[in-house]
Amino acid sequence: MSSSHASGEWTSQLRRGVLELCILRLLSRGPSYGYELVSTLDAYPMLASGENTVYPLLRRLKQEGALETFARESPSGPVRQYYRCTRDGERRLKELEKDWNAMVSDVTSFSKEGRR
């Protein structure tokens, strides 16, 4: 890793917070199962969080009612536990996206002002 310990810690906290948004976004597009979700996230270096972050988060979102599970045959054959977004999850996603967009725009304009 090229980043220092401090910035690595910052990045992992940032990623952890954003991960909830990304998982809800992915599942609002259609049902998916654990391995597929992990693989999709792995394609984005800033989002690649590791199985021991993604799977526990999925359980929490399910417990909180943002996600629900159902059994379905996966493309590779066997029956898999699929996740899908509930109505609560969709609502949560909208809130998180609103906050995220506000955060990005605030940080961006804040940084620009600083340069003047």
Partner 1 sequence: MTETNPAAARYLQRLDQELSAIPASERAEILREIADHIADSLAAGRRLDEVLTALGPADRMARGYAVELALNRPNTRLGAIDKALTVIGLVAVASLPSFIVSVILLSVGGGLAAAGLGVTGGGIVALVRPDLVPDLTVAPWVCLVSGPALVAAGAGILYVLFLYIRFLVRLTQRTVRRIGDGRTAR
Q: Following CA atoms 91, 93, 97, 99 in sequence, which dihedral angle do they give, to the nearest 10 degrees?
A: 70
What string of DSSP letters covers 53-95? Answer: HHHHHHHHHHHTTSEEEEEEE-TTSSEEEEEEE-HHHHHHHHH
Q: Does 7 bind partner 1 (CB under 8 A)?
A: no
Calculate helix-pair angle for 5-28, 51-63, nearest 10 degrees: 50
Q: Does 10 bind partner 1 (CB under 8 A)?
A: no
Cα distances from 105 to residues 25, 102, 110, in angstroms, run 20, 5, 8
**19 versus 25: smaller Cβ distance to partner 1:** 19
Contact code string over 23-62 relative to partner 1, x by CB under 8 A: ----------xxxx-xx----------xxxx-xxxxxx--
Q: Does 94 bind partner 1 (CB under 8 A)?
A: no
Among 28, 40, 74, 86, binds partner 1 (CB under 8 A): 74
Q: How many residues bind partner 1 (CB under 8 A)?
A: 24
Q: Does 80 bind partner 1 (CB under 8 A)?
A: yes
- Binding residues (CB under 8 A) for partner 1: these are 33-36, 38-39, 50-53, 55-60, 63-64, 69, 74, 76, 78, 80-81
